[in-house]
Amino acid sequence: MIQGPRALTNSDELHQIITQGENARVEFKAEASEEVLRGLSTDLAAMANTQGGVIVFGITDAKDPKGLSLRGDERDRISQSASNCTPPISVDFEEVRFATKVFLLVQIPRSTIVHNDQQRRFPTRIGNTTGYFDALGLVALLQEKRLLQHEVQQPAQVATVERKREPLSESETTLIARGLNAQDSSVRLEAIRDLITSPFYAIILEDKSIIAAIDKILKARNPEEIGPALQVLRVALSYGTKTEQENIRAWSALTFDIGKTMVRPEIGSTAFQILADLQSPEALQLMLFWVNETDDSTFASIHPENMLMNPGLKGLRPRLREEMYQILLSNASEKAKKRASLILQSLRQMGW
């Protein structure tokens, strides 16, 4: 489905990248700061939507190779930004040493589908900057990726030309269901990956055999399968039918429990985003659990404050603010109060 750029393997190639500077396929980030990570889904979606590329952490805009002081959670946090795109974007990582310094490279494949960022915008890469598609630009991109049924002749047609979503064929459904139920975990994972992009053009979560197989995978909680399986649900929420969305809603309690007992930060993030997309009160409950119950290492790896831009949370905003103030006014631990203040600060920064 995707073609990624060739992985860098030595310092000479990195030196060449630095010398050439930023362009349509190369972006420099001086550090993996909170500000950078907050907007990273836009950069990732822009590259995936156009030619693909690489983001190099540890280089300033002025091409100064300062290197990166790795804390150990950079990959998880960047993966979280990639999973916050819709559909989620798969990225690859590589650490490259240049003299005594370390740089983190994030490879973004060129995608055959279209991704929006965490703010539901459709970014594009224009030279060495990031912009956004307007309506006609988006239609042209969909045509280029063969995601429209026919050519668009005038702007008035924009609203009516999107490819109609139809159920998977019987043969495709049978094949996917067999893959999801396979004894071999690698086969199940391939079937899940196929489903991640399917909701863009096909109805998938109305078929009982696929629903049952996904349910089994969610309950098994295999660390390698649970993240991609949750991504299937999130993509289906964005593009799915009302029936598909209600079927996903039926997994709310299970999704909440997965978010609480996650084995990886990106799994907890995706679980939260699903609940937020559903505008489910369980999104609020999960946030409260993280604020009140998790240890410092877990909370730092999740970064709940970076998840608050989901539009589905707007309806829950008054209760979220109220709950944070309740923590501040209660006999809660200083740790919980500090986290509640962090959440309130993030809400203010977003104009909420």
Average pLDDT over residues 154-172: 60
Cα–Cα distances in angstroms (integers) from residue 199 to residues 160, 192, 226, 232, 292, in the given order:
19, 12, 18, 8, 36
**Residue 3: its pLDDT value, please?**
39
**Residue 297: its pLDDT value, please?**
86
pLDDT band at 6 (very low <50, low <70, confident <90, very high): very low
Q: State both tokens at 4.
A: 């990624």
Nearest to 21 by CA among 56, 72, 50: 56
Q: State both tokens at 247.
A: 């079927």
Domains of the chain: 11-138 (3.30.950.30), 163-250 (no CATH)
- 153 or 182, higher pLDDT: 182
Angstrom distance (rounded) from CA 24 to CA 191: 32
How many CB atoms lie under 10 A from the CB of residue 271?
Answer: 28
pLDDT band at 137 (very low <50, low <70, confident <90, very high): low
DSSP code per residue over 243-301: HHHHHHHTTHHHHHHHHHS-SSHHHHHHHHHHHHHTT-HHHHHHHHHHHHHS-HHHHHH
DSSP 316: G
Say what the alpha-carbon torsion angle 252, 253, 256, 261 is, to the nearest 10 degrees. -140
Angstrom distance (rounded) from CA 349 to CA 201: 36
- pLDDT beyond 60 at 148: no
> pLDDT by residue (tens digit) across 64-93?
889 988 777 788 888 888 888 888 888 888
> pTM of whole model > 0.85?
no
- pLDDT beyond 50 at 4: no
Angstrom distance (rounded) from CA 4 to CA 2: 6
Instruction: Check if the beta carbon of residue 217 is closer than 8 Å to that of residue 71.
Output: no
Nearest to 157 by CA among 149, 166, 145: 149
Average pLDDT over residues 323-350: 91
Q: Give the neighbor-by-neighbor strand order of the sheet with 26-29.
A: 26-29, 53-57, 101-108, 92-98
DSSP code per residue over 155-208: GGGGGG-BPPPEEPPHHHHHHHHHHHT-SSHHHHHHHHHHHHHGGGTEE-TT-H
Residues in CB range of 207: below 8 A, 6 or more apart: 167, 168, 173, 177
Parallel/antiparallel/unpaired status of strands 166-167 and 26-29: unpaired
